[in-house]
A and B are shown apart, each in its own frame.
Chain A
Amino acid sequence: MNHPDPRDALVDHLPAMRAFATSLTRNSATADDMVQDTLVKAWTNIDKFEAGTNMRAWLFTILRNTYYSNRRKAKREVADVDGVHTESLSQKPDHDGRLHMSDFREAFAKLPDEQREALILVGASGFAYEEAADMCGVAVGTIKSRVNRGRKRLAELMHLDDEETMELTDSATMAVVNARTNGAMR
């Protein structure tokens, strides 16, 4: 077997890169620009990719680093977010518990970047906590806490904690409040 050029595999990861970038930026145009930057970086730094390791994880790491370094640069710019204006979400889940997707997207877009990122990596794209921690350069416990805080905040925004839908105890409510306070201090 000869050695295939790992760069030939980049194209296979484009849909996932776009999906991850979109959830990070909440704006599809910005996401595509970020994917483009990531592709160029990956192409020119392909010698840093270790053959046999998870290429998607490697690409996602470049992508998120690009995002956070852009964010630092643009700290004072107003975020250009696709339709995230609603202050509170009025709609409750249907009786079958399904959420309205647009409401869910709005709620998701309100989460801090780090929580959105952790939720997408672990909750949607199937990375293990350890892999996500590696990619984000933080401890596994940090990823777990971001995922938990993100889920709680979403449940709150989506009114999933209302009535009998979810039996949130007072201590769980306090945890949400504390998580928000901690989040604001980041």
Chain B
Amino acid sequence: MAQNKQRPKGQDTIDENLKRVYQDTLEEEVPDRFRALLDQLKAQDAAQSRQSNGDET
């Protein structure tokens, strides 16, 4: 990558650290509450569509 003359030397250091801050959270285990919430939303939808379809035969 060509070095931009105007580019401050600290910029690479800053971007590297930004990526690390972001990456650290990215690698955290996702709390169970989110999967539970998705399951709950899915179940709600399924119940609703059963209702609106009227019959299940």
A: which residues have CB within 8 A of B? 7, 10-11, 14-16, 18-20, 22-23, 32, 35-36, 39-40, 43, 93, 97-99, 101, 104-105, 108, 119-120, 123-125, 151-152, 154-155, 158, 160-161, 165-168, 172
Contacts and interface: CB of A to CB of B under 8 A. Distances in A.
26 contacts: A7-B42, A11-B35, A15-B27, A16-B26, A19-B23, A23-B22, A36-B37, A39-B37, A43-B41, A101-B21, A108-B17, A120-B18, A123-B18, A124-B18, A124-B21, A151-B8, A152-B8, A154-B14, A155-B11, A155-B14, A158-B13, A165-B10, A166-B8, A166-B10, A167-B9, A172-B8
Interface of B: 8-11, 13-15, 17-23, 25-28, 30-31, 33-35, 37-38, 41-42
Contacts of B9: 160, 165-167
A14 B30 contact: yes
B18 A119 contact: yes
A24 B11 CA distance: 21
Contacts of B31: 32
A155 B26 contact: no
A108 B18 contact: yes
Contact of A158 (B10, B20, B26, B28): B10
| Interface secondary structure of A, over-half rule | helix
B13 A40 contact: no
Of B10, B18, B38, most buried by chain A (CB within 10 Å of CB) is B10
Q: 10 tightest CB-CB pairs across the interface, nearest first?
A: A160-B10, A124-B22, A19-B25, A155-B10, A124-B18, A123-B18, A104-B17, A166-B9, A19-B26, A14-B30
Contact of B11 (A10, A22, A35, A151): A151
B6 to A, nearest CB: 9
A155 B37 CA distance: 40
A18 B33 contact: no
A108 B26 CA distance: 17
B37 A40 contact: yes
